[in-house]
Amino acid sequence: MLTWFQVLPLAFFGFHPALLQSSAAPAPNSSQRLEKLLRDWDDKWKQIKDFRCEVVRTREDRAFRTEEVWRGTAVGVLPGALRIDYRDSGGKRQRSISADGKSSHCYEFKTLREWRLVSGEVWVANLRLGLPGWLERPLREALEQESDLFLHLPSRELQSRYKVELWKEDEHYIYLKIVAHEKNACYTTRYLAIVRDSLLPKALLEEEPNGNRIRWDFQHFRTNLQPSLSAVKLAEDLKKEWQNALLAFIHDVPCVALILIP
């Protein structure tokens, strides 16, 4: 009998639980099929210059039995420029993330926290504080978690960092199971659904080490936009929006300006 933990990924992808029984035995030539799929996937992303999509991010807290839903947009200019903006169910701005291929920034609008990842080091605002691992890890993961979703990893790098399996196929989607090699990774397993015809992502379910889960649903995924996007403008616009948010906050508390505004 399947447990609820096993059934969850199936329910997420629209599977009937009984279909999992056949996945115990690998399909003939599944490794060859996986290699071809990953090559085709690489070729597809090489043809993409920029993209825009809508995102629904649902986080389930297993301990407290709560669910948090954020909606937003993701835009990117390949190979490394990215911007993601999230709002909660009430429309309030929660988090924005930007990347330029060299560093990544995360802006928390609710708490007015800012941090960035530069050459593998976490900076809080403009300071490299040397945070202890238990404090630095969540900040690092928040950036790596989102960036990995949209900035396509070449298949060789993907397979060197994770164990990748061809989990299921049907007439509409291809499903990959991605397992982290490292024990301290921000997630243990990801289930990725790829649209068969376009090879673009449709949904992703992530299981975290603490038992929590995050699901991303990608809607209206458009590529090679007209007019094309500017990588520089993505970052500049977000930085201006962040500074405006800080200015609005310190209007009545001017003494924090030296800390928050670079």
* Whether the model pTM is above 0.85: no
Tokens of 134: 């238990």
Q: What are the domain boundaries of the chain?
A: 29-48+154-226, 79-151+230-262
Mean pLDDT of the chain: 79
- The pLDDT tens digits of the residues spanning 61-110 come to 988 899 999 999 999 999 889 999 999 999 999 999 988 878 888 898 98
- The pLDDT tens digits of the residues spanning 136-172 come to 666 666 667 677 777 778 888 888 888 999 999 989 9
Helix extents (H) in 182-256: 231-250
66-77 vs 81-88, strand pairing mode: antiparallel
Domain 29-48+154-226, CATH among 3.40.50.360, 1.10.10.10, 2.50.20.10, 2.30.42.10 = 2.50.20.10
pLDDT of residue 185: 64
CA separation, residue 146 to residues 142, 166, 186, 201, 247 (Å): 7, 22, 11, 14, 27
CA separation, residue 85 to residues 24, 38, 96, 144, 225 (Å): 39, 29, 4, 15, 19
Q: What is the DSSP string of 60-118?
A: EETTTTEEEEEEEEEEEETTTEEEEEEEETTS-EEEEEEEESSEEEEEETTTTEEEEEE
Through-space distance between the first and last CA atoms of the chain, rounded to whole angstroms: 57
Tokens of 101: 């291929």
